């Protein structure tokens, strides 16, 4: 499954028409973690294979220009936390529960969770979440900043569809530039980041999407962006 997931992420990266990516799980859980029974039988070999493909997928997701929405129901454990770190928006149902899970197995964490959690939650809460091993319910995850929105389970897919449609109707070039700037903001000093902002704005100003957006604004109509 991790190998197939890695390949699917590569396919999205190679698709120039991709406007938004939704990560979702089927059944009771978003993602319940790795196959513990398989790891017991051959711990190092299975762990190495899982990590190779999950880390490849995580890196691919973090390179994507298009926004990523995670649609979370039920359990989101282990490597699922890394998937949430790679997602730009996270919509969770009221029954969602979030757990790092690794310490309970006597394992360290993977899939970028220890890189992303301090950035998303702040160091203190990231340490509390990781070291105490307590699961967060949906409302606490919302308060901590792990998720963007919590909705009733019956409204989960509808909400994600609405968000996806809104993103898909926007300029992919503009959203890609904004996403890149926001995700790199904590890694650069202000002066360097201002240069990146100026460069990105100039690049957008040369596009057909920018022309269309300005003309639509002046004509008081909805723009039709084509990603050019």
* pLDDT (0 to 100) of residue 191: 96
* pLDDT (0 to 100) of residue 39: 67
Q: Which of 34-38, 84-88, 164-168 has the lowest mean pLDDT?
A: 34-38
Question: Is residue 130 within 8 Å of 117, Cβ to Cβ?
Answer: yes
Task: Specify the CATH number for the domain of residue 123.
Answer: 3.90.226.10
Q: In this structure, is residue 224 part of a structural domain?
A: no
Tell me the per-residue pLDDT of 117-173, one tens digit each, with 9 for 90 and over.
Answer: 999 999 999 999 999 988 999 999 999 999 999 999 999 999 999 999 999 999 999
Average pLDDT over residues 33-40: 70
Which residues form the domain of 116?
2-167
In terms of Cα–Cα distance, which of 214, 156, 192, 170 is closest to 20? 170
* pLDDT (0 to 100) of residue 212: 92
| Judgement on whether residues 152 and 193 belong to the same structural domain of the protein | no
Q: Match 């990781």 to its residue by tokens.
A: 130
Q: Match 């359990």 to its residue by tokens.
A: 75
- Whether the model clears a pTM of 0.85, i.e. scores above it, the answer is yes
Tell me the per-residue pLDDT of 25-34, one tens digit each, with 9 for 90 and over.
Answer: 989 999 987 6
| Judgement on whether residues 8 and 32 belong to the same structural domain of the protein | yes
Specify the DSSP element, H or E, that contains 84.
helix 79-86
Task: Specify the CATH number for the domain of residue 177.
Answer: 1.10.12
| Judgement on whether residues 81 and 194 belong to the same structural domain of the protein | no
Look at residues 127, 145, 167 and tell me which one is the last residue of a structural domain. 167
Tell me the per-residue pLDDT of 47-80, one tens digit each, with 9 for 90 and over.
Answer: 777 888 889 999 999 999 999 999 999 999 988 9
- Residues 36 and 43: their CA atoms lie apart, in Å, by 9
Give how many domains the chain has, as a whole number: 2
Average pLDDT over residues 14-42: 85
């Amino acid at each position: 499954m991790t190998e197939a997931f890695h390949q699917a992420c590569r396919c999205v990266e190679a698709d120039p028409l991709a406007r938004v990516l939704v990560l979702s799980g089927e059944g009771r859980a978003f993602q319940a973690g790795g196959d513990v029974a398989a790891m017991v039988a051959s711990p190092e070999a299975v762990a190495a294979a899982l990590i190779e493909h999950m880390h490849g997928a995580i890196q691919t997701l973090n390179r994507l220009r298009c926004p990523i929405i995670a649609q979370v129901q039920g359990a989101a454990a282990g490597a699922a936390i890394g998937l949430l770190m790679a997602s730009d928006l996270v919509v969770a149902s009221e029954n969602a529960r979030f757990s790092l899970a690794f310490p309970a197995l006597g394992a360290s964490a993977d899939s970028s969770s220890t890189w992303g959690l301090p950035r998303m939650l702040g160091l203190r809460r990231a340490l509390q979440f990781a070291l105490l091993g307590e699961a967060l319910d949906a409302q606490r995850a919302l308060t901590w900043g792990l998720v963007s929105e919590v909705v009733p389970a019956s409204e989960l897919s509808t909400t994600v569809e609405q968000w996806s449609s809104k993103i898909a109707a926007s300029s992919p070039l503009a959203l890609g530039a904004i996403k890149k700037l926001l995700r790199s903001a904590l890694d650069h000093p202000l002066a360097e980041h201002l240069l990146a902002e100026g460069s990105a704005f100039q690049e957008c100003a040369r596009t057909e999407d920018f022309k269309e957006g300005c003309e639509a604004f002046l004509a008081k109509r909805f723009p039709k962006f084509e990603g050019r």
